[in-house]
A and B are shown apart, each in its own frame.
Chain A
């Protein structure tokens, strides 16, 4: 699994870099984008099968400590692989053109509430707890991007080493405020695509994490929302009510 993850990361990272650095023609970039889209589409079904298997294995009892650690690592890698691909696709597309946003009504509170189920296994594997609270809110947005944004926030929070991650959606005066807070651990700073590219070669160990922060910024920018880290333990996404 690790080899697959790393291999894909290197191959796709190369594609992304080629697209960004301007070495490729517009046509080559379009081919890269299509390749990434096809790859992601083709990987969705085997990833589903892997996730279902992980979920089933997690229900079994009687593992020893080593087996439990192995399972936890496998779950994390499946989560990471999915995010890496989705984020790469998004950031690659952004590097060559504005992010296309298709809008429809998205019940943001439902998406927030679903995080409990989406990150239940990863949280348990890290012995962390997810606390969710959301006021009802419909926004005009791209449901796929909203799902990716929320997933990135929670993954970054869990990977920061937090034992408790709190996600809350509130509606203070004509805007919404989505907060993702950790009780311990340090969240990474927001990054632009340009900064990410510049730093990428210096520290490859942070590529997945940094890419997730970049993707959150890209999605917020494309959706007309702001993304900040008012303190090292909190991410905040804010937007005006439609």
Chain B
């Protein structure tokens, strides 16, 4: 608490996912000095487990991780949260950079880097993130957090694949609107990898996972689907 009863803004919390101990130590030291709260994970599964229990404001993700490749971690991570993700990597090929952005990275920093540059980029992404509106859609006993990419049904977390989440997000973002399968595929995909004819199977799986809230995903004959809560 600051003098005069003003609450101090909480420190942004950064999740560092880095298996190299020397680099991780350097990052932790610098970020602490810069005033951030930190969580450290040395593997992908550890990082995903941290995200389940702690609210994170930004992720620094190394791509060359043991157990699970960083790009795979990125894909899973994007299915859960929409916080900024900065990829830090020694894999500097353009293909790695493009793939990272395709999977939802917000920035790509090639190793080796100087801390001051990384810090500037972290601050820029946190500023952008702080000015965005928080999008939460609720119906029946379901809840979709479009920013955190998190879904709940009956109070419990629902595990959707990244594609399933993107399809659901595209529907709930356009309530009451009939959307064709092809359009839905386009809306749900940045890269065109979702095909219109696969939408039916994605929606079927989403319905199964949503339970009571599934009826809001209505089939529109000869067109596609509509998100309608009847309200």
Contacts and interface: CB of A to CB of B under 8 A. Distances in A.
B125 interface: no
Given A55-B30, A143-B94, A147-B110, A49 B116 contact: no
Interface stretch (B20-28, B65-73, B75-83, B207-215): B20-28
Most chain A C-beta atoms within 10 Å of own C-beta, residue among B90, B97, B110, B114: B114
B22 A118 contact: no
A144 B95 CA distance: 12
A45 B111 contact: yes
B120 A114 contact: yes
A177 B111 CA distance: 28
A240 interface: no
- For the complex, would chain A's binding face be called helix, strand, loop or mixed by DSSP majority? helix
B112 to A, nearest CB: 4
Contacts of A59: 33
B11 interface: no
A104 B116 CA distance: 26
A51 B91 contact: no
A204 interface: no
Contacts of A102: 94-95
Interface string B95-114: 10110000000000011111
Interface in A118-147: 118, 120-121, 142-144, 147
Question: Chain A interface: which size bin?
Answer: 20 to 34
A123 to B, nearest CB: 11
- For the complex, would chain B's binding face be called helix, strand, loop or mixed by DSSP majority? helix
Most chain B C-beta atoms within 10 Å of own C-beta, residue among A42, A45, A53, A118: A45
B97 A48 contact: no
Interface in B1-58: 20, 22-23, 26-27, 29-30, 33
A46 interface: yes
Given A41-B90, A49-B26, A142-B94, A120 B111 contact: no
A44 B111 contact: yes
A52 interface: yes
B198 interface: no
Contact of B30 (A46, A56, A117): A56
B133 interface: no
Given A117-B116, A117-B117, A44 B26 contact: no
A41 B88 CA distance: 13
A63 to B, nearest CB: 17
A82 interface: yes
Nearest to A56: B29
A52 B94 contact: no
A47 B111 contact: yes
Nearest to B98: A104
Contacts of B22: 46, 49
18 contacts: A44-B110, A44-B112, A46-B22, A49-B20, A51-B112, A52-B26, A55-B114, A56-B30, A102-B94, A104-B97, A114-B120, A120-B114, A121-B116, A142-B94, A143-B94, A143-B97, A144-B94, A144-B110
